[in-house]
Chain A
Amino acid sequence: MAVCEALSQQPQVSIVPAEETTQVLPTFEALTLKALCGPPHNSVIYRLGEDYLNSPYPNSPYPLIYYGTEANMNNYINPSSGGASSAITSIVYNTFTGNNSISSYSTATNSMYVRTDNSGNIIYIDSIGTFAPMSKKDELRERIRRNLNSGPAILKIRAGRPVSIEEQRARNLLRRIIGEREYALFLRKGFLTVYGKTGLVYQIPMGSGMIACYHPSKKGKYKLFQRICVQFVDHALPPTDALIMRKLLIENDEVELRKRSNVFPGNSVSPEERKGVSDFLVGAA
């Protein structure tokens, strides 16, 4: 319930200096959670329409996709109460740059836009076009699935907390690096899965938690091989930046990662298997 209440907070449509911003921004995560959690205030979020002309990616097939409540929809599709064309000319607020001018389309990437229509209602605009509200059936299925598998999803932990502009930028960068599909999975699971060149599989949690390194056994199951702890020397960096750093280190050089880290043995691998993997890592170096 608290999550839904946090999400129901309407975003402020105003220009805020980027360096000083510490507020709850209407993020992609919030919209995703809204779809998973169910719309607040018994309102249904509709997919209103697509706009290819104003897309921030003019040479790509990605349109702007507008979402809104029933009141937004009436305004959007009914010419007698404003109509689509007049709605499009209203305010657009870019959550990434803090810019509310229409020209922000040309410079922004991976941003979520928020717009008010002529009646002052908030309309969400997804510049990528991957978010779509679920049907009632899918929503119920998703709720059952989440109840059965209540993993440490980041959204549950962090929903309602203020997100600094640095953290928001870091999340946008992560989203760009790993892609929409992986990012949605990351939000749901609360960790990122990265496959090393050596065949080991790593689970990177959000924030400063340790990396869990898994080794595939002969039976095809994955066993916890090591726990790896690496962090920035400067603690002022946002938690998602720490996640990006660990992903880059794993993908590039797993041996170098271990040189930079404190490594703790896992408890589900036999000494023989551990020696085998250690030899393998030395060989890979």
Chain B
Amino acid sequence: MGQITFLCTPEISREVTGKGIGGDDVIVWDKNDLQGIKEASERFSKLKALGYAAFNVVGGKKSGEFLKDFDPNVEEIMMIPATRGG
């Protein structure tokens, strides 16, 4: 199983997963389910188009590296919305 956890507002959550929850939302896929991987990949691309940055999370705790493309073999991906200097 793989998972994308992304920080979001209810509007973004509704747009990407249809759930409409805020704080954070998740996209889960099964590594043996090609259709599920395809859907997760599409949602990943949608988030990237919205300006999100993706990180590979290692061991559920430490973040590893920036991800440019969707990798179905990654255990957990964390995505954060667009940022700017304050």
Contacts and interface: CB of A to CB of B under 8 A. Distances in A.
B21 A248 contact: no
A230 B83 contact: yes
B22 to A, nearest CB: 3
Nearest to B10: A19
Contact of B83 (A164, A165, A232): A232
B84 A19 contact: no
B41 interface: no
A233 B82 contact: yes
Contacts of B23: 165-170, 173, 238, 241
A248 B84 contact: no
A229 to B, nearest CB: 4
A252 B7 contact: no
Interface in A173-187: 173, 176-179
Contact of B24 (A173, A233, A249): A173
Interface in A155-212: 164-170, 173, 176-179, 208, 210
Contacts of B81: 232-234, 237, 245
A104 B65 CA distance: 34
A241 B7 contact: yes
A261 interface: yes
Interface in A253-268: 253, 256, 260-262
B84 A233 contact: yes
Interface residues of B, number: 27
Interface string B8-29: 1110000000001111100000
A4 interface: no
Interface string B34-68: 00000000000000000100010000111111100
Interface string A244-285: 110111011100100011100000000000000000000000
A253 B84 contact: no
A18 B63 contact: no
Given A169-B24, A252-B63, A237 B7 contact: yes
Given A177-B61, A237-B81, A248 B24 contact: no
A53 interface: no
Given A173-B5, A230-B86, A244-B7, A252 B21 contact: no
Given A248-B55, A251-B62, A18 B21 contact: yes
A232 B86 CA distance: 9
Interface of B: 5, 7-10, 20-24, 51, 55, 60-66, 78, 80-86
Interface of A: 18-19, 164-170, 173, 176-179, 208, 210, 229-234, 236-238, 241, 244-245, 247-249, 251-253, 256, 260-262
